[in-house]
Amino acid sequence: MGSIIVIMGSGSDLPFAERIRKFLVDEKIPVECQFEVASAHRTPDVLLQRLETYEESGRDIVYITVAGLSDALSGVVAGCTKHPVIACPPDLEKFGWAKAFSSAMTPKGVPVLLATRPENAALAAAKILALTEKSLYKSIEKYMSRRRAETLKAGEALRKEPPGSQ
């Protein structure tokens, strides 16, 4: 079974990162989600040690990095793993495109994907894991079908009673 490993740069990132697990649980997408706190700046030795343990586990893994300020965490994780890395910065709305640049602009050979919302990071990670764990597709398809139905319902409601028609 594959796992999503959420690595936070500090404990203060937990409320934002917890939205990843909440999405998986709420949408009944059966993916294991583990949390770690390890900073590329303050505890690089701990980060590298934990990454080595995960690399040796033989599991299918997708890392989601949640790091504020200067996002060295995402690039360091990507540079030290054979698994996909999705950066999901908690302060993107505050710092804008400069933050996106800090998270996703990495050197050639160090790929970091960027998701702006924890829920999208969780869904992207589940889709990646589904490539080898086909049973995940059923849960993903149910979620996508529900979202489609919600959109169609909203459109139908507008056609029945257009704005300003009262």
Please give the full DSSP string across the chain, using - where no structure is assigned.
Answer: --EEEEEESSGGGHHHHHHHHHHHHHTT---EEEEEE--TTT-HHHHHHHHHHHHHT---EEEEEE--SS-HHHHHHHHT-SS-EEE--TTHHHHTHHHHHHHH---TT---EE-SSHHHHHHHHHHHHHTT-TTHHHHHHHHHHHHHHHHHHHHHHHHHS-TT--
Residue by residue, pLDDT tens for the chain (166 residues) are 899 999 999 999 999 999 999 999 999 999 999 999 999 999 999 999 999 999 999 999 999 999 988 889 999 999 999 999 999 999 988 888 888 888 888 999 999 999 999 999 999 999 999 999 999 999 999 999 999 999 999 999 999 988 887 6
pLDDT at 166: 67
Task: Write down all domains in the chain, each with its CATH number in brackets.
Answer: 3-136 (3.40.50.1970)
Q: What is the pTM of this model?
A: 0.93
* The pLDDT of residue 95: 84
